[in-house]
A = this chain, B = another copy of it.
Amino acid sequence: MTTVPGTTPYPWPWHGRFDPVRLALLAVACPHPADRGQVVDPGHPVEVLAGQVRGAGGLIISVRVRPPGWPPAPPAEAPPRRPDQVVHAAGWDGFHGSDLDSVLRAAGRDLLLLAGCCLELGVHSTMRAANDRGYECLLVEDACGSAAPDLRQGALSTIEMSGGIFGAVGSRSAVATLMERS
């Protein structure tokens, strides 16, 4: 059994079979909906996380989401700077109108870390969709930015309902510990 220590509400992944060759980081980036499309930047934490994940053999995917109907022009500056792959979605859900599912399947990655921005919008929609498709998901809480800080805790608690209904929640240091071990 290899799991992340300290994740809630269960030690991630639930099946205890962590393996970095099955791991992908989804770094979600969205234009700020109320601010002319400027990227909401969660900043340094995503770069740090990407470095840890890449070092252990995980795949780094930049997932560019957007409000429905917005043009696909992507935020050039969205972290992390050098993803292995860039995926463009046609809505807040990174799987909608994109090849994200194809990319993950072809690469054999079914353990997903979620980070980026915005926690309540694109990250949440993408995590819900990933969970529906059978992916085992961990949201890395301190690598996510919020568009509405007062809704942040509710968004996290919703993931943790009923023993982890959409997956688990953890921190960068928890992930780092797991990466070092594996």
Contact = CB atoms under 8 A, between A and B. Distances in A.
16 contacts: A34-B163, A89-B99, A91-B131, A91-B132, A92-B131, A96-B102, A97-B102, A97-B132, A98-B98, A106-B134, A120-B161, A124-B158, A129-B129, A147-B162, A154-B154, A154-B158
Interface of A: 33-34, 67-69, 72, 88-93, 96-103, 105-106, 120-121, 124-125, 128-129, 131-134, 147-148, 150-151, 153-155, 157-158, 161-163, 165-166
B165 A158 contact: no
Contacts of A99: 72, 88-90, 97-98
Contacts of A129: 93, 96, 129
Contact of A162 (B34, B101, B157): B34
A166 B128 CA distance: 15
A97 B157 CA distance: 26
Contacts of A121: 161, 165
Contacts of A151: 154, 157-158, 161
A128 B128 contact: yes
A78 to B, nearest CB: 18
- Chain B CB count within 10 A is highest, among A67, A72, A102, for A102
A81 to B, nearest CB: 20
